[in-house]
Each structure stands twice: as structure tokens, then as C-alpha cells.
């Protein structure tokens, strides 16, 4: 995750740096370091941020379109996103069957998901 996305999400969550530090269970200094680009944002922090912004967006009542509809997926019956009916959170679920994320580890998956329109929808 780039520092700009981190700051954007913090602002969309309507949190100060101190409030976000408390919410994520990290120090204020860590938040400063992430936002300045001095420290790489750990994957577990990134995923937690995406989850929080997803929950915030979900509170609006507008249902997000699931990945299998957006991507016209032919493998949805084998996919955990379909099994657990969380196609709007496919970026959070490991083991998805999308052509682009099939059989790769979670770090590589997040690299791909960051560029995907499903995840990018959360920043709009």
C-alpha cells in the first residue's frame, strides 16, 4: 500500500492519526512513519484498513457488486468468495479462483488486488 492510499483511507474513516493508531493497535509514531513513507505499511495493517473502509462504505446501504458478476466469473462455484458470499470482499479472502490471483500467496494477491476495480471502488 502506498502512503497516499493510507492517508486517503484515514481521512475517509474520519480519524486523526492518534485515533487511527488506537484503532489499529499501533503507535502514533508508526502512523506518522506510514504516512511519511519512512516505514513500509505491513500487510496486516493494510488489510485491516481496507476492511474498515469497506465496513464504512457498506453502512451506506448501497450493496457493492460481487466480483463474480463484475468479472463474469466461470469458476465461482469453486471459489471461497462465492462459497461465503463475500464477492465484494474478494480482496480479503485467500484462495480465490480469479485467473489473476489463483494459486499465489497473500502478498502477491494484494499486489494484484490493489490494481483491481473491486478494491478501488472502496476509495471512491
Kindly report the pTM of this predicted structure: 0.83
DSSP 97: -
| Same-domain status, 38 and 75 | no
At residue 95, the pLDDT reads: 85
| Same-domain status, 117 and 71 | yes
Residue by residue, DSSP assigns 12-81 as HTT--HHHHHHHHT--HHHHHHHHHTSSPPPHHHHHHHHHHHHHHHHTTS-PPPPHHHHTT-S-GGG-HH
- Of 61, 90, 109, which residue sits at a domain end? 61
| Same-domain status, 46 and 74 | no
| Same-domain status, 49 and 76 | no
In angstroms, rounded to a whole number, what is the distance separating the alpha carbons of residues 93 and 91?
A: 6
The string of pLDDT tens digits covering residues 64-121 is 788 888 888 888 888 898 999 988 888 888 888 886 777 788 888 888 888 888 888 8
At residue 67, the pLDDT reads: 87
The string of pLDDT tens digits covering residues 16-67 is 999 999 999 999 999 999 999 999 999 999 999 999 998 888 777 777 788 8
- Of 61, 82, 97, which residue sits at a domain end? 61
| Same-domain status, 21 and 49 | yes
Instruction: CATH number of the domain at 50, please.
Output: 1.10.260.40
> What would the grid cell of residue 29 be?
509514531
- Of 33, 61, 89, which residue sits at a domain end? 61
Domain count, the chain: 2
Q: Is the pLDDT of residue 7 over 80?
A: yes
At residue 17, the pLDDT reads: 97
| Same-domain status, 74 and 105 | yes
| Same-domain status, 87 and 124 | yes
| Same-domain status, 96 and 83 | yes
Give the Cβ contact number of residue 95 at 10 Å: 14
The torsion angles phi and psi of 93, rounded to 5 degrees, stand at -95, 125
- Domain of residue 41 covers 1-61
Amino acid at each position: 500500500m502506498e502512503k497516499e492510499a493510507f492517508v486517503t483511507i484515514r481521512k475517509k474513516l474520519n480519524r486523526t492519526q492518534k485515533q487511527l493508531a488506537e484503532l489499529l493497535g499501533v503507535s502514533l509514531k508508526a502512523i506518522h512513519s506510514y504516512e511519511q513513507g519512512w516505514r513500509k505499511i505491513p500487510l496486516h495493517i493494510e488489510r485491516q484498513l481496507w476492511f474498515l473502509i469497506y465496513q464504512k462504505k457498506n453502512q451506506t446501504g448501497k450493496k457493492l457488486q460481487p466480483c463474480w458478476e463484475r468479472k463474469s466469473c466461470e469458476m465461482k462455484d469453486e471459489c471461497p468468495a462465492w462459497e461465503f458470499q463475500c464477492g465484494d470482499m474478494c480482496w480479503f479472502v485467500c484462495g480465490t479462483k480469479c485467473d489473476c490471483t489463483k494459486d499465489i500467496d497473500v502478498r502477491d494477491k494484494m499486489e494484484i488486488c490493489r490494481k483491481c476495480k473491486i478494491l478501488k471502488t472502496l476509495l471512491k
